[in-house]
């Protein structure tokens, strides 16, 4: 089934009674893409145009779907020079694994007219291909993101876990008896890791390929993981608002730094949820913003020595 549906109602220049209201405008529904690998989101978009005096009501948008995280953006409303209003409703669907759902029961009502029922749309989040698995795993190594795969073996893994614990206990006992201590691997330095990740992202040239969503997902992940490693603020899985509140309560960032991070993350949210299309200049500017933030928050030698002492303690 196609991921796009369109219906147009055009007013007719005839004498029509007040009990038979019509409107000049259009209603369209788009699910883009209708089939996607489960690690990439899809967007359900309902677009309605009508006269400025008409009220627009969209009902039945999905609020919960099993195995899918839903993010509904505020309706965008624009009034054109011709007096027509365009209202756009969007829902971002982000699956946790392979799923398939039928999106039905969505209705649109304009003014006092009858509600228009949008034909059902099919949303499918498919399993990842081998190349997609490799790509996700590659970026996971750069950002600290983990690829979660379904576990088909059930209780077998519990048995493996028990055996593993017994082996670990035996190795620990042997270590204490032999007093052989292996040298500890030094903990990666947060700002050096962030610089490597930024160079990797620049090398991939996602903006030049038109992959704007992927570019901002990766760029915001680099900043969030850097803040977590540098300031011990649990940032990657939090919403933008939750993170800003946590950073404010911990007082790890100055007011100016909070403003910079807040503006950048809200810009990323606009790209992801409101389908804002940034220019190449904006994308370059945001890359530079993240890089400058990392450089400006590198601790002084004295601060770094104190941080190393705290970790050793």
**Model confidence pLDDT, tens digit, residues 279-290:** 999 999 999 999
Phi/psi at 169 (5° precision): -60, -40
* Pair (121, 194) in one structural domain: no
* Pair (95, 196) in one structural domain: no
Domain annotation covers residue 262:
yes
Most confident range, picked from 134-143, 146-155, 176-185, 293-302: 293-302
Which 8-state DSSP code applies to residue 23?
Answer: -
pLDDT at residue 143, rounded to an integer:
44
* Pair (98, 194) in one structural domain: no
Sign of the Cα pseudo-torsion (186, 190, 192, 196, in order)? positive
Q: Could you count the other beta carbons within 10 Å of the beta carbon of residue 57?
A: 12
Domain annotation covers residue 144:
no
Q: Which secondary structure element, helix H or strand E, spans residue 284, and what is its range?
A: helix 280-296
pLDDT at residue 22, rounded to an integer:
47
Mean pLDDT of 200-229: 90
Question: Total domain count for the chain?
Answer: 2
**CA count, 13 A, side-chain hemisphere, 40:** 20
Residue 235: domain span: 190-312
Strand order, beta sheet including 35-37: 35-37, 121-126, 99-103
pTM: 0.42
Residue 223: which of 258, 187, 188 has the closest Cα? Answer: 258
Domain annotation covers residue 19:
yes
- pLDDT band, residue 101 (cuts 50/70/90): very high
Most confident range, picked from 177-191, 230-244, 255-269: 255-269
Mean pLDDT value across the chain = 77
Mean pLDDT of 133-161: 52
Inform me whether the pLDDT recorded for 155 exceeds 80: no
- Higher-confidence residue of 142 and 299: namely 299
Inform me whether the pLDDT recorded for 299 exceeds 70: yes
CATH code where residue 115 lies: 2.60.40
Domain annotation covers residue 230:
yes
Q: Give per-residue pLDDT as tens, 45-98.
A: 998 888 876 788 899 998 899 999 888 877 788 777 777 888 889 898 988 889
* Pair (203, 295) in one structural domain: yes
* Pair (120, 45) in one structural domain: yes
């Amino acid at each position: 089934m196609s991921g796009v549906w369109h219906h147009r109602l055009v007013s007719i220049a005839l004498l029509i009674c007040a009990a038979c209201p019509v409107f000049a405008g259009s209603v369209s529904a788009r699910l883009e893409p209708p089939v996607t690998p489960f690690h990439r989101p899809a967007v359900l978009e309902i677009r309605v145009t009508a006269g400025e005096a008409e009220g627009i009501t969209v009902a039945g948008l999905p609020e919960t779907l099993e195995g899918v995280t839903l993010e509904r953006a505020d309706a965008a409303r624009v009034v054109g020079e011709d007096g027509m209003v365009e209202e756009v409703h969007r829902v971002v669907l982000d699956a946790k694994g392979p799923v398939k759902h039928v999106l039905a029961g969505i209705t649109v009502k304009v003014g006092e007219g009858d509600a228009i029922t949008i034909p059902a749309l099919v949303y499918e989040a498919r399993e990842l291909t081998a190349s997609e698995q490799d790509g996700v795993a590659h970026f996971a190594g750069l950002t600290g993101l983990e690829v979660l795969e379904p576990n088909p073996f059930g209780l077998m893994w519990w048995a493996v876990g028990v055996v593993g614990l017994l082996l670990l206990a035996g190795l620990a006992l042997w270590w204490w008896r032999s007093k052989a201590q292996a040298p500890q691997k030094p903990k990666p330095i947060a700002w050096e890791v962030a610089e490597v990740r930024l160079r990797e992202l620049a090398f991939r040239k996602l903006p030049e390929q038109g992959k704007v969503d992927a570019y901002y997902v990766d760029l915001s992940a680099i900043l969030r993981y850097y803040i977590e490693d540098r300031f011990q603020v649990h940032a990657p899985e939090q919403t933008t608002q939750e993170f800003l509140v946590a950073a404010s309560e911990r007082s790890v960032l100055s007011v100016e730094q909070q403003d910079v991070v807040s503006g950048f993350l809200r810009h990323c949210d606009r790209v992801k949820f409101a389908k804002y299309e940034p220019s190449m200049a904006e994308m370059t500017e945001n890359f530079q913003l993240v890089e400058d933030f990392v450089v400006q928050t590198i601790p002084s030698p004295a601060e770094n020595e104190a941080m190393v002492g705290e970790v050793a303690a």
